[in-house]
Chains A and B, each alone.
Chain A
Amino acid sequence: MSVLLTAVATLGAIGAGSAAILYMVSQKFKVVEDPRIQEVQDALPAANCGGCGFPGCASFAAACVKAESLEGLFCPVGGQETMDQVAAILGRKASVAAKKVAVVRCSGTCDERPRLNLYDGASNCAVAAALYGGDTGCSFGCLGLGDCVDSCAFDAIHINPGTMLPEVVEDKCTACGACVKACPKDIIELRKVGPKSRRIYVSCVNKDKGAVAKKACNVACIGCTKCQQVCPFEAITIENNLAFIDDDKCRLCRKCVPVCPTNSILELNFPPRKETPPAPKGEETTVTA
Chain B
Amino acid sequence: MLKTFRIGGIHPKENKFSAGSAIQPIAIPDQVIIPLSQHIGAPCQPVVKKGDKVKAGTLIGKSVGFVSANIHSPVSGTVLKIDKALDASGYKRDAVIIKVEGDEWEPSVDRSQTLVSECTLTPKEILDKIAAAGIVGMGGATFPTHVKLTPPPGTRAEVLIINGVECEPYLTSDHQLMMEKTDEIMVGITIVMKALNVQKAIIGIENNKRDAIDLFTQKATAFPGITVQALKVHYPQGGEKQLIDALTGRQVPSGALPISVGTVVQNVGSTFAVYEAVQKNKPLVERVVTVTGKDVKQPCNILSRIGIPLSNLIDVAGGVPESTGKVISGGPMMGKALASIDIPVTKGTSGILIVPTLEAKRKAMKDCIRCGKCVDVCPMGLNPTLLMNLTEYEVWDRAEKNSITDCIECGSCSYTCPADRPLLDYIRLGKGKVMGIIRARKN
**Interface residues in chain A, defined as those with a beta carbon under 8 Å from any beta carbon in chain B:** 116-117, 120-124, 126-127, 130-133, 135, 139, 208, 212
A133 touches B91 (CB 8 A): yes
Q: Which of B28-36, B306-314, B373-381, B423-431 contacts A (4 or more CB under 8 A)?
A: B423-431
Q: Which of A117, A127, A135 contacts B426 (CB 8 A)?
A: A127
B438 CB, nearest partner CB in chain A, Å = 17
Q: Given the known A-B contacts A117-B339, A132-B91, A132-B339, are A208 and B84 also in contact in the complex, defined by CB atoms under 8 Å? A: yes
Q: Which of B320-368 contact A (CB under 8 A)?
A: 326, 336-337, 339-340, 360-362, 365
Q: Given the known A-B contacts A121-B422, A122-B422, A122-B426, are A130 and B432 also in contact in the complex, defined by CB atoms under 8 Å? A: yes
Instruction: Give Cα A67 to B339, complex, Å.
Output: 52
A120 touches B361 (CB 8 A): yes
Question: Which residues of the partner chain B approach A212 to less than 8 Å between Cβ atoms?
Answer: 84
B40 CB, nearest partner CB in chain A, Å = 15
Which of B89, B422, B429: most chain A Cβ within 10 A?
Answer: B429
A116 touches B422 (CB 8 A): no
Query: Known pairs A120-B337, A124-B425. 20 more at Cβ < 8 A?
Result: A117-B340, A120-B326, A120-B361, A121-B425, A122-B422, A123-B365, A124-B429, A127-B425, A127-B428, A127-B429, A130-B428, A130-B432, A131-B90, A132-B91, A132-B339, A133-B91, A133-B92, A139-B91, A139-B92, A208-B84
B3 CB, nearest partner CB in chain A, Å = 35
Instruction: Give Cα A123 to B92, complex, Å.
Output: 23
Q: Which of A121, A130, A208 contacts B92 (CB 8 A)?
A: A208
Question: Which residues of the partner chain B approach A135 to less than 8 Å between Cβ atoms?
Answer: 339
A133 touches B339 (CB 8 A): yes
The 7 closest A-B pairs by CB, nearest first: A132-B90, A122-B422, A122-B425, A127-B425, A117-B339, A133-B91, A120-B362
Instruction: Give Cα A126 to B391, complex, Å.
Output: 11
Question: Which residues of the partner chain B approach A139 to less than 8 Å between Cβ atoms?
Answer: 90-92
Question: Which residues of the partner chain A approach B428 to less than 8 Å between Cβ atoms?
Answer: 127, 130
Question: Which residues of the partner chain A approach B89 to less than 8 Å between Cβ atoms?
Answer: 132
Instruction: Give Cα A139 to B361, complex, Å.
Output: 23
A126 touches B429 (CB 8 A): yes
Instruction: Give Cα A114 to B86, complex, Å.
Output: 17
A16 CB, nearest partner CB in chain B, Å = 45
Question: Which residues of the partner chain B approach A131 to less than 8 Å between Cβ atoms?
Answer: 90, 336-337, 425
B80 CB, nearest partner CB in chain A, Å = 16
List, sorted by A's number, 5 A–B pairs whose CB atoms are closer than 8 Å: A120-B337, A122-B425, A124-B425, A130-B432, A132-B91
Instruction: Give Cα A99 to B84, complex, Å.
Output: 40
B429 touches A120 (CB 8 A): no
Closest chain A residue, CB of each to CB of B388: A122
Question: Which residues of the partner chain A approach B326 to less than 8 Å between Cβ atoms?
Answer: 120
Instruction: Give Cα A121 to B426, complex, Å.
Output: 10
Instruction: Give Cα A132 to B428, complex, Å.
Output: 13
Q: Which of B85-125 contact A (CB under 8 A)?
A: 86, 89-92
A133 touches B426 (CB 8 A): no
B429 touches A130 (CB 8 A): yes
Question: Which residues of the partner chain A approach B429 to less than 8 Å between Cβ atoms?
Answer: 124, 126-127, 130
| 0/1 interface trace, chain B 49-93, chain A, CB 8 Å (1 if under) | 000000000000000000000000000000000001010011110
Instruction: Give Cα A37 to B306, complex, Å.
Output: 65
Q: Which of B86, B336, B360, B426 contacts A120 (CB 8 A)?
A: B360
B417 CB, nearest partner CB in chain A, Å = 12
B90 touches A127 (CB 8 A): no
Question: Which residues of the partner chain A approach B426 to less than 8 Å between Cβ atoms?
Answer: 122, 124, 127
Instruction: Give Cα A103 to B337, complex, Å.
Output: 32
Instruction: Give Cα A201 to B362, complex, Å.
Output: 39
B90 touches A133 (CB 8 A): yes
A217 CB, nearest partner CB in chain B, Å = 14
| 0/1 interface trace, chain B 403-442, chain A, CB 8 Å (1 if under) | 0000000000000000000100110110010000000000
Instruction: Give Cα A133 to B87, complex, Å.
Output: 11
Which of A122, A130, A139: most chain B Cβ within 10 A?
Answer: A122
A270 CB, nearest partner CB in chain B, Å = 36
Question: Which residues of the partner chain B approach A123 to less than 8 Å between Cβ atoms?
Answer: 365
Closest chain B residue, CB of each to CB of A127: B425
Instruction: Give Cα A132 to B362, complex, Å.
Output: 17
Closest chain A residue, CB of each to CB of B425: A122
Question: Which residues of the partner chain A approach B86 to less than 8 Å between Cβ atoms?
Answer: 133
B360 CB, nearest partner CB in chain A, Å = 7
Instruction: Give Cα A109 to B360, complex, Å.
Output: 26
Question: Which residues of the partner chain B approach A116 to less than 8 Å between Cβ atoms?
Answer: 339-340
Question: Which residues of the partner chain A approach B339 to less than 8 Å between Cβ atoms?
Answer: 116-117, 132-133, 135
Closest chain A residue, CB of each to CB of B360: A120
Question: Which residues of the partner chain A approach B425 to less than 8 Å between Cβ atoms?
Answer: 121-122, 124, 127, 131
Instruction: Give Cα A122 to B422, complex, Å.
Output: 6
B411 CB, nearest partner CB in chain A, Å = 12
Question: Which residues of the partner chain A approach B91 to less than 8 Å between Cβ atoms?
Answer: 132-133, 139
Closest chain B residue, CB of each to CB of A139: B91
Question: Which residues of the partner chain A approach B340 to less than 8 Å between Cβ atoms?
Answer: 116-117
Instruction: Give Cα A139 to B86, complex, Å.
Output: 10
Instruction: Give Cα A30 to B360, complex, Å.
Output: 65
Q: Which of B90, B360, B365 contacts A122 (CB 8 A)?
A: B365
A214 CB, nearest partner CB in chain B, Å = 15
Question: Which residues of the partner chain B approach A122 to less than 8 Å between Cβ atoms?
Answer: 365, 422, 425-426
Instruction: Give Cα A223 to B361, complex, Å.
Output: 39
Instruction: Give Cα A212 to B84, complex, Å.
Output: 10
B362 touches A127 (CB 8 A): no
A287 CB, nearest partner CB in chain B, Å = 28
Q: Given the known A-B contacts A133-B90, A208-B84, are A127 and B360 also in contact in the complex, defined by CB atoms under 8 Å? A: no
